[in-house]
């Protein structure tokens, strides 16, 4: 089991504690059809897709509907970005997009966005900010056309 986990507090301060928690949560949830669990005093909402498991975890007093909104936003955003091919290989090939999506949805544990259309749109815009040295000629020309168009419209 490989995991990409982002921790926003020090509930599990050491890597050993984090690994034990991750193993425990996976063992408790990977064979069930439900979408929510209480584990070690935490509220866990989760979803699986082919060979991936997505988890959003909050304290026991967090609203489950808000946690589920974050999970659904992340999943639906990735589904749009990966053209409905939410599986391990496609995700590994687009890890930058995953990190950008998480950054758009949550900042330091604070929910910023729950609309997957907005997240996917912002990730696409941020993905277009490629350094000039890494752009193809057609990308540079398209960018120049856009800049000229906007300067003429002012």
Q: What is the pTM of this model?
A: 0.74
Which residue reads 């975890």 in tokens?
A: 57
* Total of domains in the chain: 1
Q: Are 70 and 111 in contact (CB under 8 A)?
A: yes
Cα–Cα dist 16/88, whole Å:
25
Is residue 9 situated within a structural domain? no
CATH assignment of the domain containing 73: 3.30.450.60
Is residue 2 situated within a structural domain? no
Beta strands per DSSP E along the chain: 36-39, 42-49, 52-59, 106-107, 110-111
Phi-psi region of 88 (alpha: psi -120 to 50; beta: other; left: phi over 0): alpha
Residues of the domain holding 130 = 15-153
**Torsion angle (degrees, nearest 10) of CA 142, 145, 146, 149:** -160
* Tokens, residue 32: 């069930």
Mean pLDDT rounded to a whole number for the chain: 82
Question: What would you report as the CA-atom Rg of the chain, rounded to the nearest whole angstrom?
Answer: 19
pLDDT digits (tens, 9 = 90+) for 37-92: 888 899 999 998 888 889 999 988 889 999 999 999 999 999 998 888 888 888 88
């Amino acid at each position: 089991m490989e995991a990409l986990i982002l921790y926003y507090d020090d509930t599990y301060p050491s890597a050993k504690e984090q690994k034990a928690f991750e193993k425990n949560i996976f063992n408790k949830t990977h064979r069930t059809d439900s979408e929510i669990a209480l584990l070690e005093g935490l509220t866990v909402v989760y979803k699986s897709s082919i060979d991936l498991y997505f988890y959003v975890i909050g304290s026991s007093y967090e609203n489950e509907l808000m946690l589920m909104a974050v999970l659904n936003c992340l999943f639906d955003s990735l589904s749009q970005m990966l053209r409905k091919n939410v599986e391990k290989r496609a995700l590994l090939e687009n890890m930058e997009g995953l990190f950008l999506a998480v950054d758009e949805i949550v900042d330091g544990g604070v929910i910023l966005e729950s609309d997957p259309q907005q997240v996917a749109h912002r990730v696409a815009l941020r993905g277009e900010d490629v350094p000039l040295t890494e752009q193809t000629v057609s990308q540079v020309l398209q960018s120049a056309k856009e800049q000229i168009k906007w300067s003429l419209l002012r």
